[in-house]
């Protein structure tokens, strides 16, 4: 019997194609998303940017060095104060012990006598005179005992005050020591960052950086020469005026060199400069005060000490010592301070030049005062 079923139409299988298309679209979408969200690589800084960054790091390290110097001085002073207070506290404690022993002697004596009432002592006495003698003795003892009690209380209070003062001093010492550690770490971090930046430069980049440095030095030297010419002209004009005034007055006295001239520095300034020049070639080491190495304020402090003037340790304190001087009126030995944060200092040599301890990796040297932005100048002494 023949079948009356309608033959089936063959079905076309399209699943694999759809699956491939889906995967392809998903891959494209994923790649597009990754491309959109991937952070672009940071462009390599230019040599000028590297130089500026390194200079900033050295300046920041210089400022942190002054913080370190201040904290170191403060720690030393605080340690001396603590030592003195602890010694005084020990002496006070000994006096308290002496007063306590005296009270103990009186207490023992009173125990031995039994602390009898005066009426009982009178009746037990061998004769009236003996009673009155003993009564006077007891009164004197009583006065001495009261004084011993008063002395004990006084010494006890003084000892407590010294202990409190010593405790506060120890807390201040701990704070100074923490400041010292913090500033030291800051200096080390800034210098390490600067070294890392420089270490990443290629040989060609280092050569370009050196060329930029030479250009900066040349520009600073040109400004120094201009200042030298202006100072020489001003000195000559002042000398000519002095000569004309002397001639008009009929004086035979030869006019002296102007006090503002770079060639007539004060004796102390000349001594300070001579010392600074004798240190040329010694390495810069942050926190150092000589004689083998110096930081900037360590050199200026040592130079003026040679001239008999004691300067404070940091640039921030040195700038407040002496008389303020305009750049045009600088004389040898004057101190010149740099940057808005007053983190660097040098000794003026004359003709727009100075002697200074520049930065880590460098040596004490002569340089134009225009190598860095000038903050101001002072004349110690």
pLDDT value, residue 98 = 72
Q: Is the pLDDT of residue 139 over 70?
A: no
- Polymer length of the chain: 381
Q: Is the pLDDT of residue 357 over 90?
A: yes
Averaged confidence pLDDT in the chain: 80
| DSSP class per residue in 84-122 | HHHHHHHHHHHHHHHHHHHHHHHHHHHHHHTT--HHHHH
Segment 293-300 shows an average pLDDT of: 97
pLDDT value, residue 17 = 43
> What are the two backbone dihedrals, phi and then psi, of residue 56, each rounded to the nearest 5 degrees?
-65, -40
Q: Is the pLDDT of residue 16 over 60?
A: no
Q: Is the pLDDT of residue 315 over 60?
A: yes
Q: What angle do CA 36, 38, 43 make, to 5 degrees?
A: 115
Q: Is the pLDDT of residue 174 over 90?
A: no
Q: Is the pLDDT of residue 18 over 90?
A: no
pTM: 0.67
Candidate ranges 44-48, 100-104, 329-333; pick with highest mean pLDDT: 329-333
Bridge partners of 157, per DSSP, are none
pLDDT value, residue 259 = 46
Q: Is the pLDDT of residue 225 over 80?
A: yes
pLDDT value, residue 156 = 73
Q: Is the pLDDT of residue 363 over 70?
A: yes
CB 380 within 8 A of CB 311: yes
More confident site: 132 or 72: 72
Q: In this predicted model, what pLDDT tens digit does every residue of 317-349 receive, in sequence order?
A: 999 999 999 999 999 999 999 999 999 999 999
Candidate ranges 24-28, 236-240, 265-269; pick with highest mean pLDDT: 236-240
pLDDT value, residue 68 = 93
Integer CA distances (angstroms), 159 to 90, 128, 372, in order: 8, 46, 55
pLDDT value, residue 305 = 97
pLDDT value, residue 123 = 44
pLDDT value, residue 94 = 75
pLDDT value, residue 211 = 95
Q: Which of 98, 104, 83 is nearest to 154 (CA)?
A: 98
CB 64 within 8 A of CB 181: no
Contacts of 243 (CB under 8 A, 6+ apart): 255
Annotated active-site positions, please? 296, 344, 356
Q: What is the gyration radius of the CA atoms in the chain, in angstroms?
A: 42
Q: Is the pLDDT of residue 356 over 80?
A: yes
Segment 14-32 shows an average pLDDT of: 43
Contacts of 183 (CB under 8 A, 6+ apart): 64, 65, 67, 68, 71
pLDDT band, very low/low/confident/very high, at 187 (cuts 50, 70, 90) = very high
* 3-class DSSP assignment, residue 376: strand
Rounded distance, CA 114 to CA 73, Å?
61
Q: Is the pLDDT of residue 257 over 90?
A: no
Rounded distance, CA 149 to CA 104, Å?
10
* 3-class DSSP assignment, residue 336: strand
Give yes or no for a cis peptide into 9 (omega within 30° of 0).
Answer: no
Q: Is the pLDDT of residue 138 over 90?
A: no
């Amino acid at each position: 019997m023949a079948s009356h079923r309608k033959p089936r139409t063959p079905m076309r299988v399209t699943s694999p194609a759809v699956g491939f298309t889906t995967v392809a679209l998903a891959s494209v979408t994923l790649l597009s998303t990754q491309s959109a969200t991937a952070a672009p690589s940071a462009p390599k800084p230019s040599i000028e940017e590297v130089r500026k960054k390194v200079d900033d790091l050295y300046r920041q390290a210089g400022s942190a060095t002054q913080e370190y110097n201040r904290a170191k001085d403060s720690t030393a002073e605080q340690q001396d104060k603590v030592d003195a207070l602890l010694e005084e506290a020990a002496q006070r404690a000994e006096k308290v012990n002496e007063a306590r022993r005296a009270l103990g002697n009186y207490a023992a004596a009173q125990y031995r006598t039994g602390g009898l009432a005066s009426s009982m002592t009178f009746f037990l006495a061998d004769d009236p005179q003996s009673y009155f003698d003993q009564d006077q003795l007891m009164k004197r003892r009583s006065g001495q005992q009261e004084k011993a009690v008063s002395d004990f209380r006084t010494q006890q209070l003084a000892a407590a005050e010294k202990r409190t003062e010593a405790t506060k001093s120890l807390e201040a010492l701990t704070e100074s020591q923490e400041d010292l550690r913090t500033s030291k770490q800051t200096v080390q971090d800034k210098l390490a960052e600067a070294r890392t930046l420089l270490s990443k430069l290629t040989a060609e980049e280092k050569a370009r950086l050196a060329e930029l440095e030479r250009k900066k030095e040349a520009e600073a030297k040109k400004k120094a020469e201009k200042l030298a010419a202006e100072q020489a002209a001003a000195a000559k004009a002042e000398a000519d005026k002095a000569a004309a005034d002397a001639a008009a007055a009929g004086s035979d006295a030869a006019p002296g060199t102007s006090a503002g001239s770079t060639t007539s520095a004060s004796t102390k300034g000349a001594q300070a400069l001579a010392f600074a020049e004798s240190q040329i070639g010694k390495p810069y080491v942050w926190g150092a005060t000589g004689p083998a190495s110096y930081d900037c304020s360590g050199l200026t402090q040592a130079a003026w000490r040679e001239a008999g003037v004691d300067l404070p340790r940091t640039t921030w304190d040195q700038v407040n010592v002496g008389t303020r001087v305009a750049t045009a009126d600088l004389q040898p030995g004057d101190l010149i301070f740099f940057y808005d944060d007053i983190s660097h200092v040098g000794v003026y040599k004359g003709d727009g030049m100075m002697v200074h301890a520049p930065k880590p990796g460098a040596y004490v040297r002569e340089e134009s005062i225009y190598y860095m932005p000038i903050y101001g100048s002072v004349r110690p002494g």
